[in-house]
Each structure stands twice: as C-alpha cells, then as structure tokens.
Structure 1
Amino acid sequence: MQSHPPQEFYLKETNAHLEGWKFNGDNLKINYDHVREMQFVYVRVVKAIDLPENDVTGSCDPYVEVKLGNYKNTTDHLEKNSNPGWNKVFTISKDQIQGSILEVFVKDKDVVNDDYIGRVVFDLDDIPNMVSQNGGLLAPQWYSLEDKKNEKAKGELLLAVWMGTEADDVSHLDASESNICSSVHLSPKLWYLKVTVIEAQDLQPSDERPFPDVFVKAMLGNQTLRTTVSTNKTTNPTWNEDLVFVAAEPFHVPLIFSVEDRIAPNKGEVLGKCDIRLQHVDRRLDRKPLNSRWYNLERHILVEDEKKNEVTFSGKIHMIICLEGGYCVPDESPHYSSDLRPTEKQLWKSRIGVLELGILDARGLLPMKIKDGQETTDAYCVAKYGQKWFRTRTIIDSFDPVWNEQYTWEVFDPCTVVTIGVFDNFHLQVGEKSRRDSRIGKLRIRLSALETDRIYSRSFPLLVLQPSGLKKMGELHLAVRFTCSSLINMMHIYSQPLLPKMHYIQPLTVSQIDKLRHQATQIVSIRLSRAEPPLRKEVVQYLLEVGSDTWSMRKSKINFFRVMAIFNVFVDVWRWFDRICNWKNPVITVLIHILFLILVMYRQHLLPSIFLCLFLFIAWYYEWKPEHPLHIDTRLSQADNVHPDELDEEFDMFPSLCAADLVRMRYDRLRSVAGRIQTVLGDLATQGERLQYLLCWRDPRATVVFAIFCLIAAFVLYITPFEVVAILTGFYVLRHPRFRSKLDSVPLNFFKRLPERSGCLL
C-alpha cells in the first residue's frame, strides 16, 4: 500500500484578513476610494547610452524632447555626456491629447540649431494601460534610436510609457532602489516572420565553379535558417521553401539574406547579400495571398583585408516576406499557457473577466545565503499571466516576508494558467552582479479550476526538487479570485478552437513550433533582463519552463503512471464485470440479469439510460467536488521516493558532464527501459496486423474459415430477432463459473494463430 505524502506538502485553507482588500460576503473589491477617475499618459525618461558625438565640437550635450500633438516638453541638457541620465517623468492629461503618435526625441544642444540624434515612436493604441493595476510602476526598457529615415541610429534610450491615473506613485524613482521596489514588466509583442524563398537570378559564381550548389541562409538576430541546396545547379536556382522566424517589436534587428555556394560541408562562399528592415515588411492577418518581390543582392569585394566603399550588383532574389499576425506566438509550455490570443490586436475577442491576485506573505522560508556571517533570505515574488509580469518589492532579511500587494489581469480565455514564483534577490550588494537569483519555489493556478466570483485564500507549499531530493522551502499565502463579466461569453469560449484559426488553416509542424517557442523564450528573457529593474534571465526561464522537455527517468515514470491512472478506470470496470460474471455476489448478478433483460427488450431506452446514469454519477459526486485549486502533487510527481541517481541524472547538464562509466550505466538503463517500451509497442502492432491479415488472405485457410463464419452469422442474424441474439449473448457472457472452461475460447485461439509481420523483421 502506497504511503501518502507528509501533511506539510498539502495546500492549506486560510481565513486571514487581507489588508487593502474589502470583503462583502463573497465579493472582493479593490480599495480605490482615494483614486479619481482621471487618466494620464506618463513618459518616464531614465537615461541614454552610447550617443554619438558632434563632428564639430567633438562632444555631446544631449536632452530629450517629448512630443504628443500640441504637447511638447524637454529635459535639461547635460553637457559633454554621451551616457546621460535624466530620470524625469512627463505627465500628459488624456483629456488634452490631440494626437495619436507619441514621439520621444534625443537631441544635441547647439548654439544655433540643435542636432537631431534619434527618436523613439509610440502609437497610443499600443501603450499599456496600467489604470487597473494596484502595485508597481512599469519597468523602463531600452529602445534603439531611429534616424529621420526610420533606420537604426547610434545610441539607446531607457524609458517607459504607460497610461495611468494620478494615483500612480511617480515620486520614488531612485534607480538605486530599483532592485527593491515593485515593478511591472511587459513581454515584447512577438510575430511569426514567414519568408518564402522562391528563386534567384543572375548570380555570379566564381570561374572555378560554373555550376554552384546554391542555398540561401537567412539570419534574424541569433536565429539562422537555411534552405536546401537547389537542384537547379545554374545561375538561376529555385527553391520554393518556407522559413519561419520569431520577431519582436520594436523591429531593431534587420533580416539578413545571403546566397551562398556550398563548397564544403558547413562551409559556403557568399555570392550576394541583402538586408531588409522589418518595418517595411507586409503584415497579414489571414491566408490572403501576398505579392512577391525581387530584392537586389550585393557583394563586397575584399582588397587587402579591407572592404571597399562601393558594392557591386551580384544578382536578384525573389521572395515573399510577411509578418503573420493571425498566429499565437507562445513563449510558454503548451500545458501552462496563459495567453492564447493572436499577435494582431484586431483579431482579439472581448475579455470575459478579470483575474485578481493578492500576494500576501510567506512563512517559514529557508535561508538562501550567508550575509555578514548570518543566514538570511531577501525574498520577492514574480507573477506572470499573459504579457504582464508583476514583481513585488524585495523584503530584506526576513524568513516571513509580508508583501500585501495586489495585481489584476484581463482574462480572455478561462483555460489558462497564472504562474507565481518566489526568488531570493542576490543583487542587492555591490560585487554580486554575477550571481543568479536563487529559486525558492513556484506554483501554478489554472483559472478553469476556479469557481467564478469566489475568493480563494490559500497557503501553498513551496516545493523544490533538488539533487538531494524533495525539499519544502516554505509556504506562500495567496488570495485569488476569477471574476466573470459575462457567463454567456465564457461558455461560448468553450465551443471555440483553443488556438487562433491560422493554426488550423495553415498549421506549423510540431518541430517548428518547438523551435520557435525556444526562440521566443530567448527573446523574452533577453528583453526583460535589460529592463530597469531587470527581470533576470534565470527568473524568466524558470517561470517559462525552459528545459522542462528534457528526458529523465522520473518524468518517464510520471507519464507512465498518468497513463495507468486513466486505464485503471477501465481495469476497475473490467474487474467489477468479472466479479459479476463469476457470481461472486449472486444477488448483484441476478439484478444485472434483470437489468440486462429490460435494456434488451426496451433497447430504444439504452442510450438515454446511459446518459441518465452519467448525470446521476456527476450529481452524486457534487458533494465531493474539489475545494482547492489544482496544486503540486508530490505523489504524482514521483518526487517523494525518487532514487538519488535518477535525480543526479535529471540535474545533469546537456550534454552530460558526468564520468564516462556513469554515463554508460545510465545509457544501459535507458536502453533497458526503451526495450520494454519497444516490446509493448511491438505487441500492439502484432494485434493490429492479425486483424488486418484476417481479411487479406495472408493465411488462406484462416480467411476461408472467417469468410464462412461471416456468411453464416449474417444469415442467422437476418432470420433471428435482435432480442434473442442479445439475450443469448448476454446470458452466455454472464454464465455461471461451473459452465466455464479454464482454457482459452475458440475465437481467441483462432485469433492468436493468425499471421503477423514480426517474422519479416531483421
């Protein structure tokens, strides 16, 4: 008999008083009585780096100008500073806004005319609305500057733009406290960039290779994809292949193409290159066909290891390039998705509710580091749902931190998951920049498992699987409520496809989706790590489940027992039926006979009776419906009794860093497990092949016997009433054990003698 996990691993219900939350029965209201419904556009300009120097003066005296319609305001200029810091907030009343484009210029102060350095442009429709949030300011992010031709200019600007109310606290903007204060982060807007490489013309290969093996290599940031080598070995090769990338707004990184001649494995000679700015690429919301375009290829000629200023024409390439707005670009595991909307905002449906989360406190956190000779923990929480990441303030030197911070998200699909992680801040002191924030624990709450308009106040155990085994790091006290604005709209969502339509009209392959999700995760982690305060890479990847798809013995056992748990239902039904057939309880068996006769004689009521039984079964289990949200199950996770060697294998790097003999042992163990799985799959294939060969004359005698049986059965069933056949069959199955033989039945013996294809294998 299996032992149950310790009581400390279970979720606990609490009735704590929630400061800042008002209770009225089961209603939860945010205490915003002091907030007037007056909205503003906030522009927080923090600093800039790597600004260009003036060609005449040899220095830079930069300042920032904010322009929105008739509104214009500037910061002070800083003399001779290519890396200036302003840390100033501009407040623009929404009632006074007369434009839709917000421009933030960086200029160089001059005596006569100020020099233009660059700008950052925002569309007001894309500015995040923080009116409904009650904690943390939007974290500034780095933006590349653009010149007057919308090309990338030198320098970057750190700023944040959001829509808020006058209640937003914009006074505490000291950068030295950025690692302590709460903040709000936004994931970048992600697109699928689809490139269809059609053909090239007028290529100019070297004289030594007049018939080149040409392929196209496309690069977007750290993403590199290649076409196959063209089968048309001429100067006009063709491909007709699709390449798909993940692109993030704002589009600072150009898409670079190079047409190359493969002269050796993994080595090619560049025949021509071209750069394409994504700002000028077409955007598509559906499968509407797009016009293809020809792009000129250029080649730089090397002379004395230096590039010439001129470039030469080296051919043309024919392609279709578009940003796909009809797809959902996931950066999370598909099992824990929090956002299933397409990229383009025009395709979004109306929200169905609001998710309110209160991060109250934690209890019994373990010490995570030693500071000044004493064990301590500086804890903070990060909550992720959709594109919004909320980070609480850091509570310094406390094993029982109290946050009492509240956050809200708009909900567009109830079949989504909010993820909350607890971390130890390792970046509060000088000299600790190279260290990583330690993981204290993580939990997930599935919205569909929550009752609407009900407050769940629970203390969740923070469990972490370490190389030494399962460890409880403390408890996190949360209050959560999912409020539904329209029950009809929410029920309608259940009838809709889980993903946007483009995923079904023009689906991507499984391997493509996995690779693109990995790229999306890398883009999000890099972008958020450059915010101020940064949401560090290890934090983002931990919440996004990076590396969770690697193989381990423990995860294999988990999936095996999950499958067995499903089949156990059928096994239990079969065991119950076997007890009925063997007359273990004669009274129940007689009742089953009577019920069977009723259903056969009144077979028109068979299906209604089945559905009525299902309804009664559901109604019976209402009394035992779950009272807690879904949470970590240590028994299901196979974490409470996992073998130390299996844990060591799971935490090993990829590729492995272990000794050769240990890797050999684990490889042999993996071969043993895979061999058993292979045997089971072979047995399943054997049964299917026997059914197939029953009709295909592979065994002529068996096929003749089965054909004669089918003919006789058809004749008997034609002249015999259905009730008689059903009653005789049922009584035969339910016959008393004294009339049963311990040997296999004739049909089973016949089936086992049918041929199968295992003899055809090497």
Structure 2
Amino acid sequence: MTATHDMLEQMSYLCVSVVKARDLPTMDMTGALDPYVEVKLGDLKGVTRHLEKNANPVWRQMFAFSAAHLQFDQLQIIVKHKDVLRDDLVGRVVFDVADIPRLSPNSRLAPQWYHLSDANGKRFPNRHSLGEIMLAVWLGTQADEAFMDAHALSLEGLTNTRSQVYYSPKLIYLRVSVIAAQDLMGTKKDQPLGPTIAKIQMGSQIMRTRPGQPQGSANPAWNEEFMCVVSEPFEDPLVVTVEEKVGTGRDEPIGRIIIPMASPYVERNDLFMPVPSKWFSLSRGMTGSKILLRMSLDTGYHVMDEPPEYMSDLHPALLKKLRKSAIGILKVEILGARDLAVGVENPYVVAKYGKKWVRTRTLLNTTAPQWNEQHTWDVFDVGTVITVAVFNDSHGAANDQRIGKVRVRVATLETDRMYTQYYPLVVLTPSGLKKMGQLHLAVRFTCKSWPKMLAMYGKPLLPELHHTNPISAPQMDYLRFKAMEMVASRLGRAQPPLRREVVEYMLDFDNRTYMFSLRRSKANFYRFMVLFSPIMAMWKWFDDVCKWKNPVTTILVNVVYLNLVCYPKLILPMVFLCFIMIVARNYRQRPRNLPHMDAVLSHAEIAHPDELDEEFDTFPASRPADLVRMRYDRLRCIAGRVQTVAADLALQGERLLFLPRWHDPRATTIYMMLLVMMALVLYLTPFRVVAMVIQLYFLRPPWFQSRTPSMIFNFYRRLHSNQGLML
C-alpha cells in the first residue's frame, strides 16, 4: 500500500495560527475593547472575527499563504480595535519571512506568546502596556493536518482550504397498490356520486389512478400499482386522497389518509414477497368510508439517480451489513488545471463515486489552479464510473458555471498502475462547442481480492429484482428524475451546501438523449459504420479472393481450405487460434491513456449552429413557426432515408421468413425439392467432397465466372414479401 499523499505534488504554504491574546489595553472613553487580528503579507490580508468587550480574547483561527506570495519580506500580525468610524491600532508583531522555520510534513509548531509593539515597532517600558498575543508561524505543505483547518489567502480574499465530503441520502422504492374503496359519499348529498379517482402523493411525486369501476359506485375498484422514491431518514408521509370528478378539470376531495413512512403498515420487502393489503379509514368526517391499500418498501432494488451508462453504485437499498466487502480501492488525485477559459477565475472540482461526493476548496483569482488533493473510494464493482467536474464559483451571485466533466470507468484501469494525464474540458452550448481548459488528474485502482474481482464479470450489474421483476423503462425514467431531485434537495441542505446546479450537472439532470438531435444521430450513424467496417472489409477481401484479383492470395486460401477439409478436426482449433492471434496482436496497440470526452466522436466540433439550436430547443418547440417548419421538413427528409433502409432490411428478412410458409406455392415447392435433393446429396456424398464442390464453385477462376447474377440470387430476388401490400 502507498502512503496517503504519495501522488501529490508538495506545495509550500506559510501557516499562521492566531490563538489568543491577553492584557490588551482599553481603546476608548468607555473602557471597552473590541479586538480582532489582521494577518498581512504584502497585499494579502486575512482578518479574524472581532470579539466585543474582551481584553483577553480567544480566536483559534488559522491562515495559509501560498508559496507564490512569499516574495514579500515581512509578515505582520496586527491587533486592532473595531470602531464605528476608524479601527484603532492596538499593537502588532512583525516576522521576517526568511527567519520563519520550515517544518517536516505533519508537524505543527507549538504556539508561544509575543509582546505587542506600536506602529513604529517600539515597546513601552511596562511590558504589559500593549498586551501579548499567542501565535505560531511556520512553513509547511498542504499535506499537513493543520493546513486543512486553515483559510487560504489570495488577492481576492479568503477561502476555506478544507475540502468537503458529502453523502447521498439512502433512497428506496416505495410500492403502493390502490385496490378498492367502500362506502364513499359524494360532495353533494342530493346528487349521485360521480367518477372517483385516487391520488397518491409522496412529497413532489403525484400520481393518479384511472376512474374507479364501476363509475359512480360507492364501492369502486382501481387495482393499480404505483412506485415512488423515498429517502431515509423519512421526511414526507404518504398521502392518499380519493377525489370525485364534479366537472371538466374539476376534482373535489372526498376522503384522505396520511400514512407516515415509519408506520408498521409500510413493510420492508427485500425479496419481493407478497405483502398483505389493509383497509384504512378515510378522513373528512366520512363515517365508514375506507380504502384498501398495499404498501411496501422494495429494498431489493437499486435506486438509480445516475444515467444507466454512467452508474457509480450498483447496490440494492438493503442494510449496510448485507453489502459485500469491497474488491478494491480507487484513489483519485485532483492535481490542477490549465488553460482555463476567460472568465473562469474561481475554480473548484466536484467528484462523485457511489454515495460519496467530494468538493475541493475554491482557488481564487487563478486560471491555473493547483488543488493537489487526494481522495479515495471503496470499489464494489469494476463496471462503475467515477465522475469529476470543474465549476467556477460565483459566490452566490449566480449559478456556478460549468467548466467541463470527466468520466473514468474503473474497468479501464490496470491494477496498481497510476494514470496521470490532462483531460480536455469541453462544454456543448447552443452557440457551439467551447473548450474550457484541461484538468490534471492522477487515478489508481488497487485490487484487494482478485477472485472476487474476476467473479464480478460473471454476475449481473443490477440486483436480482431488476431481472426477476423489472421496472418498465418509462417508469424507470420518471423514478430516476425524482431520485435526482431528492439527492439535489438533500445535498443542498448540507452545511456548507452543495449547490443544486452542481448536483444536477453531475447526475445529468438535463440529459437530452431522449430528444432528437441531428448531431447525435450523425455521430451514432458513424459509430454504426465503424462497428461494421471490419465485416465489410472482410466481405470485400473475400470477394477479391473469389475474383482472383490477387492470384497468390487465392491460391493460399485454396491450400488452407483444402487442408482444413482433409483434417476437419483442425477447423475449430484454427478458428480460436486466429482469435488468439488477433487479440495478441492488438496488445501492442492497447490504449496507453484513459479515454475522455471525444468532441470528434460526438460530431460536436463540426455541428452546424442551427443543429445545435434545435438540439437545445425546449419541448414543445419555442422557435418561430417558419424555423420549426424548416426543421420539420429536414427531419422528414432524414427520416425518409432511414425509412428506406428499414424497409429494405424488412424486405430481405421477409423473403426468408415467408419462403417455407407457402406464400408463393411454386417457390416453396422448388425450395422443398431443393431441400430433398440436398438431404440426399449430403447423405450419399462424403463431407469432404461437398466442401470441395463449394470451394470450386466460389473460388473458381475468373474465366469460369459469369457476369450475370447466379441462379440462387435470382431465386431469392423473386421471393414473396409484404412490400407489395404496403399502402
């Protein structure tokens, strides 16, 4: 195992610990003293809190100056009295920077008392006339424990040097089944009961049933099931309201039940076992009105709050003791950044993996920040992704600006290898792709148990319930959206809060992959082409061999083919041996660096401005009608091409599908006769002879090849399909 800060670049800091003062003099006519301390190094200044009417104040505050500002000769510790018009000088202590001691890592200088002098550096005969201050001043690094409690000083002011750690709330799926009701009464006693619905509300999650059957009955039945997301510790209760439709768009409540999540009626269901239903009395003064509900906390599911392709946690919402031990440790060094865009002067980094979030300190007034922070996470599955994003701190004036995002899949990391590289930070906006700079990271994955890690590759990613009792895709999207809202709300209430826009960006809250994007469609099309390019290249090579474009290659193929025919036991071993050779050959070309956001692959650099404007448009469209019409016509044109390709693929498949189904009796008869002939030939003819005949047919010399299509191809082209039945 490596040391805690083995990958960090050591950065020097001048640390000043202001502990307390004693015997300070009074400064006004009332005899009061409101002291505070000003720590000053050249143009940099830090100020402690002021304490009212206290001649023996205790501050216990620490400040840190970066080594980049140590060109100044003197460090001044000034005690002042806070006044209405002008703060008065009480006394000061001056240190020569060259005389300040440098301590070894994780050391801390013991504070001591210093006599205060006046503005001219003069002390009075009575050594207690200006009082004394307890200080500790030394040179250290960011790896020191004391540095984590300090405030960094820059030309813009103070910022806390301690990084913050947050944890996502524990999320659970709540399953609610609304079965039936009995003895309902309408809002108007002199009128019959109208159609009734049941409304389920859990916080901001609101779902409604269809009208109960039979409509207008006092004992309606719904038999509908809903799922919502809850978090521990539970805050909002479950509210079920029965409403009567009294007009168009008008629903009047006729009964309500409020059930706390800590109620014994809400059972934890780890294995999706049958849960009994229960009758609940409705409120609103209705005598005898009840509703039949079935509720359970399905803790066997993993609650998704991230995109499925970028999940960093795959555990079910079970008790912590049921979690399996970690298979490894992921260490991430957030070293620094460079070439940040204009206007990015107060950057900080947020990293998320699993339930743990980390926010670095904010570095002020710099476009080349150096954080040099190391953080670790337990790894339970290598099929997970860590997300690291950079933001520009607006100090509450506006939303923090997005600078870019980096994702690293644990499975791409070699064990015990440190990857240190710069990752491009890019942001796609309606005006185009913006290059925001580069983030410097060092990443290392350390394996604890090789057997457990290798066994992971044979296990499903998600818990068993996702496969035995899957949640539909539309419902999963809704639940993920609500889970993200819940995480953003909970982390926004932390102290200090993790801002909502930060959480939303990390979780891809505004993910628009479900919306049409011409840029993304082009990118996916070219991905498809690259995927099938080896198959097309192989087919072209085979066609060249059949046409004897390179006689030497064709002769070699014939020799290899005849050898395999004569010794059929070598066929499968040769196939696997070829695969082994391909994998071994690709070892030298394996990726040396970790993958990152690829603007070229995403077609973001060459995207037309109108395409980006369409991609970032709202739904429904908010652009002028003529522009929407133009985009619609363009979409129709593109969809027409896709439709043509889809129709051609369906045509080829239907020909094969309908061939044995007698849609064309003559073609099916010919097909059946050919099958009978092939069965007899294959039974009476040795396999080697059949294989050689196939070879002689496909690899025959060019002077025996006809330029017209073959009989088999002509027969296939004449087969029946549904193409002629389309309107």
CA–CA separation in structure 1 for the residues paired with 2:583 and 2:182: 67
| 2:406 alignment partner in structure 1 | 443
SS at match of 1:279: coil
| 1:130 alignment partner in structure 2 | none
Residue 292 of structure 2 is aligned to residue 318 of structure 1: yes
CA–CA separation in structure 1 for the residues paired with 2:352 and 2:619: 27
CA–CA separation in structure 2 for the residues paired with 1:603 and 1:264: 79
Decide whether the 8 Å contact of 2:166 with 2:357 is kept in 1: yes
Residue 565 of structure 2 is aligned to residue 609 of structure 1: no
* 202, 209, 231: which one aligns with 1:227: 209
CA–CA separation in structure 1 for the residues paired with 2:499 and 2:726: 53
SS at match of 2:543: helix
Select the structure with the greater relative contact order (CA < 8 A; seq sep ≥ 6): 1
* 265, 268, 291: which one aligns with 2:276: 291
CA–CA separation in structure 1 for the residues paired with 2:213 and 2:587: 65
The structure-2 alpha-carbon separation of the partners of 1:699 and 1:534, relative to structure 1 and needing over 3 Å to count, comes to: same
SS at match of 1:22: coil
| 2:177 alignment partner in structure 1 | 196
Decide whether the 8 Å contact of 2:151 with 2:161 is kept in 1: no
Decide whether the 8 Å contact of 1:257 with 1:274 is kept in 2: yes
Residue 720 of structure 2 is aligned to residue 735 of structure 1: no
| 1:516 alignment partner in structure 2 | 479
| 1:491 alignment partner in structure 2 | 454
| 1:383 alignment partner in structure 2 | 351
Residue 267 of structure 2 is aligned to residue 282 of structure 1: yes
C-alpha displacement of 1:654 = 2.9
Decide whether the 8 Å contact of 1:355 with 1:480 is kept in 2: yes
Gaps of 5+ in 1: 1-17, 32-86, 89-133, 135-165, 300-310, 369-375
The structure-2 alpha-carbon separation of the partners of 1:348 and 1:264, relative to structure 1 and needing over 3 Å to count, comes to: farther
SS at match of 2:660: coil
| 2:138 alignment partner in structure 1 | none
The structure-2 alpha-carbon separation of the partners of 1:19 and 1:474, relative to structure 1 and needing over 3 Å to count, comes to: farther
CA–CA separation in structure 1 for the residues paired with 2:377 and 2:475: 30
Percent identity at matched positions?
Answer: 46
Decide whether the 8 Å contact of 1:20 with 1:30 is kept in 2: no
SS at match of 1:323: strand
CA–CA separation in structure 2 for the residues paired with 1:354 and 1:319: 45
CA–CA separation in structure 2 for the residues paired with 1:319 and 1:387: 32
Decide whether the 8 Å contact of 1:326 with 1:347 is kept in 2: no
SS at match of 2:283: strand
More divergent stretch after superposition (684-693 vs 551-560): 684-693
More divergent stretch after superposition (229-238 vs 556-565): 229-238
Residue 545 of structure 2 is aligned to residue 580 of structure 1: yes
The structure-2 alpha-carbon separation of the partners of 1:668 and 1:265, relative to structure 1 and needing over 3 Å to count, comes to: farther
Offset from partner CA, 1:103-127 (integer Å, 9 cap, x none) = xxxxxxxxxxxxxxxxxxxxxxxxx
Spell out the pairing of 1:542-553 with structure 2 (5 A cutoff): 542-548=505-511, 549=513, 550-553=515-518
Residue 320 of structure 2 is aligned to residue 357 of structure 1: no
Offset from partner CA, 1:507-527 (integer Å, 9 cap, x none) = 111111111111111111122
C-alpha displacement of 1:574 = 0.8
| 2:496 alignment partner in structure 1 | 533
CA–CA separation in structure 2 for the residues paired with 1:286 and 1:171: 46
Spell out the pairing of 1:124-163 with structure 2 (5 A cutoff): none
More divergent stretch after superposition (657-666 vs 409-418): 657-666
Decide whether the 8 Å contact of 1:457 with 1:479 is kept in 2: yes
CA–CA separation in structure 2 for the residues paired with 1:414 and 1:384: 15
Decide whether the 8 Å contact of 2:149 with 2:161 is kept in 1: no
Spell out the pairing of 1:420-499 with structure 2 (5 A cutoff): 420-427=388-395, 432=397, 435-499=398-462
The structure-2 alpha-carbon separation of the partners of 1:367 and 1:620, relative to structure 1 and needing over 3 Å to count, comes to: same
CA–CA separation in structure 1 for the residues paired with 2:334 and 2:680: 72
CA–CA separation in structure 2 for the residues paired with 1:358 and 1:242: 46
Decide whether the 8 Å contact of 1:353 with 1:484 is kept in 2: yes
TM-score by length of 1: 0.73
C-alpha displacement of 1:465 = 2.0
Decide whether the 8 Å contact of 1:178 with 1:532 is kept in 2: no
Decide whether the 8 Å contact of 1:184 with 1:388 is kept in 2: yes
Report how many residues are paired.
586
CA–CA separation in structure 1 for the residues paired with 2:158 and 2:206: 39
SS at match of 2:282: strand
Decide whether the 8 Å contact of 2:199 with 2:207 is kept in 1: yes
The structure-2 alpha-carbon separation of the partners of 1:676 and 1:282, relative to structure 1 and needing over 3 Å to count, comes to: same
Offset from partner CA, 1:731-762 (integer Å, 9 cap, x none) = 21122222222222222222222222233333
| 1:215 alignment partner in structure 2 | 197
| 2:227 alignment partner in structure 1 | 244
| 1:341 alignment partner in structure 2 | 315
* 11, 14, 21: which one aligns with 2:5: 21
C-alpha displacement of 1:30 = 13
CA–CA separation in structure 1 for the residues paired with 2:447 and 2:455: 13
Residue 561 of structure 2 is aligned to residue 596 of structure 1: yes
C-alpha displacement of 1:505 = 1.2
Offset from partner CA, 1:511-550 (integer Å, 9 cap, x none) = 1111111111111112222222222121111111123223
The structure-2 alpha-carbon separation of the partners of 1:680 and 1:602, relative to structure 1 and needing over 3 Å to count, comes to: same
Spell out the pairing of 1:602-681 with structure 2 (5 A cutoff): 602-681=567-646
C-alpha displacement of 1:482 = 0.6
| Structure 2 counterpart of 1:354, one-letter code | I
Offset from partner CA, 1:621-665 (integer Å, 9 cap, x none) = 111111111112222111221111111222223333222111111
Decide whether the 8 Å contact of 2:150 with 2:161 is kept in 1: no
CA–CA separation in structure 2 for the residues paired with 1:180 and 1:265: 59
Spell out the pairing of 1:300-311 with structure 2 (5 A cutoff): 311=285
C-alpha displacement of 1:231 = 2.9
The structure-2 alpha-carbon separation of the partners of 1:224 and 1:445, relative to structure 1 and needing over 3 Å to count, comes to: same
The structure-2 alpha-carbon separation of the partners of 1:691 and 1:168, relative to structure 1 and needing over 3 Å to count, comes to: farther
The structure-2 alpha-carbon separation of the partners of 1:712 and 1:19, relative to structure 1 and needing over 3 Å to count, comes to: closer
Decide whether the 8 Å contact of 2:617 with 2:623 is kept in 1: yes
| Structure 2 counterpart of 1:293, one-letter code | K
| 2:79 alignment partner in structure 1 | none
CA–CA separation in structure 2 for the residues paired with 1:314 and 1:29: 73
Offset from partner CA, 1:453-495 (integer Å, 9 cap, x none) = 1111111111222333222211111111011101110001111
TM-score by length of 2: 0.77
C-alpha displacement of 1:356 = 0.4
Offset from partner CA, 1:273-313 (integer Å, 9 cap, x none) = 111111122111102222211111112xxxxxxxxxxx333
CA–CA separation in structure 2 for the residues paired with 1:168 and 1:274: 54
Spell out the pairing of 1:82-101 with structure 2 (5 A cutoff): none
Residue 464 of structure 2 is aligned to residue 501 of structure 1: yes
| 2:21 alignment partner in structure 1 | none
The structure-2 alpha-carbon separation of the partners of 1:650 and 1:180, relative to structure 1 and needing over 3 Å to count, comes to: farther
| Structure 2 counterpart of 1:363, one-letter code | R
Decide whether the 8 Å contact of 1:199 with 1:236 is kept in 2: yes
Structure (1 or 2) with the larger CA radius of gyration: 2
Decide whether the 8 Å contact of 2:299 with 2:316 is kept in 1: yes
CA–CA separation in structure 1 for the residues paired with 2:564 and 2:191: 81
Decide whether the 8 Å contact of 1:259 with 1:271 is kept in 2: yes
SS at match of 1:21: coil
CA–CA separation in structure 1 for the residues paired with 2:704 and 2:316: 64
CA–CA separation in structure 1 for the residues paired with 2:673 and 2:383: 53
C-alpha displacement of 1:235 = 1.7
SS at match of 2:262: helix
C-alpha displacement of 1:211 = 5.6
C-alpha displacement of 1:690 = 1.7
Spell out the pairing of 1:38-49 with structure 2 (5 A cutoff): none
Offset from partner CA, 1:224-263 (integer Å, 9 cap, x none) = 1122223333222222221000111221111111122334
C-alpha displacement of 1:173 = 10
| 1:758 alignment partner in structure 2 | 723
